Structure 1
Amino acid sequence: MSVSICSFNVNSIRSRVDLIKRWLTEKRSVDILCFQEIKCEAEQFPSETFEQMGYQCAINGQKRLNGVAICSKLPMKDVKTEFGIDLFDREKRLIQALIGDTLVLNCYVPRGGLEGEERHTYKMAFFDALTDYCETLLEKYEKVIVLGDFNVALTELDVYDAEVFEGAIGFLSSEKEKLNTLLSTALHDCFRKLHPEEKSFTWWDYRSAGIWRDEGMRIDYILANEPLCAQLDSIEVDLWTRRRRSPTPSDHAPLVAEFKML
């Protein structure tokens, strides 16, 4: 039986829960939902809504900022919410769970800042810690998925106009280098595996109404190691939620992959 998994920066889960419920009931069924930027503590997360649809929820929440969650129709165990590094763990950006014999790591990488700024330094250090952590996971588990909002567009195919983004946060050479280093741990970009030359985006600026002109960036990824890549059937950006006018959408669209099995 195939298994679908989704990465979705919701930009406040409580503001999007009705839209997400409509998407799941009217548009498509998803087995494993991985949310970033839920912007609430665990007790405010709308677990009941997802439980009524058959999901078990694991949450690493933070008041008004950050926060990640996994909602799965398949049993989860061994949930973990920390690197074990206080500098990074105080910002709630990580959650993992073992689903079947696949380790799923959901992360929300900091947006960062320009070169020389404190938040850029923090983002670089976060990527280093994430890469080290993924190396340990890949040594321990045969099948690993790392997904989420990485806040980096890797190539010119991942932005609508490379000249517009030149020197901008999310398209800096230093950021691309860190994401490529993460990929060098034996993780593969699932979208590029199946769509090597396609321009397709996951984020569009609210302020410019970029969704209607498709002026966006691909900054959300589903990465997997080779045993899982061999099971990859499809992956796409689902624009249904992003093109809604009501309820108000997130500035991201969900990225959904289908695997023959996990």
Structure 2
Amino acid sequence: MVCLVKVKGRWYPHMIRVVLADDQLLFVENLKYVLEQLSGDIQIVGVAHSGKQAVEMILQHSPDIALLDVRMPAIDGVAVVERVHPVRPSTRIIMLTTFDDDEYIHEALSHGAIGYLLKDMPPADLIQAIHVVMSGQVIVSPGVVQKLLRDPHQLPAPDSAIPPWMLTLTKRERELLKFIARGLDNRQISEEMCVTPQTIRNHMSEIYSKLGVGTRLEAIRLLSNLDIDSIPL
């Protein structure tokens, strides 16, 4: 039996409990207001203004989601992930960043963050991203994905040779890989390809099997060694 929660006249399966952490007080308080007012099913259970406070609040509240600024004094967002993920693995951690924080991308994701988003994204997109992460998907802003795939300071130079596993993919699966490289989530890809999200999930399972990976992030890392534009369709 599913218990529903009624908020503002609408019924939701449950409230998504969120901890926010950012040392810019005006930004984080505005973010709290926007998420609670526009979402309906998001409850802010803690607002931290430092990495130390973020660690304490995540350990205390065990939220569903932690939205962390990358750069905070004393203990930055990456260090927070490193400290709390091993003891609160059920808390899904999303990093909020600007383009100036690119050097933290790999470190944050390797320590357990499953989202890396840009602060200038529209509020509705952030709310959607929270729901995507709650469904078990990794969410990375398209601009960040491009950094993962293109930045010569972050990754080895792309390999112009087509790897053997590429030849095992169908045309549809190769097309889907290009959408992944653009940072689209399953719903967005399903709209682009005019199929259902379940069909995309089925394709993703096949792709993971052929690539020998288990997650979307691992697939993105594997793609980092390729010139994406050279993927044949």
Whether TM-score is above 0.5 comes out as no
Higher helix share: 2
Structure showing greater Rg: 2
Higher strand content, 1 or 2:
1
Report the TM-score, using the length of structure 2 for normalisation: 0.31
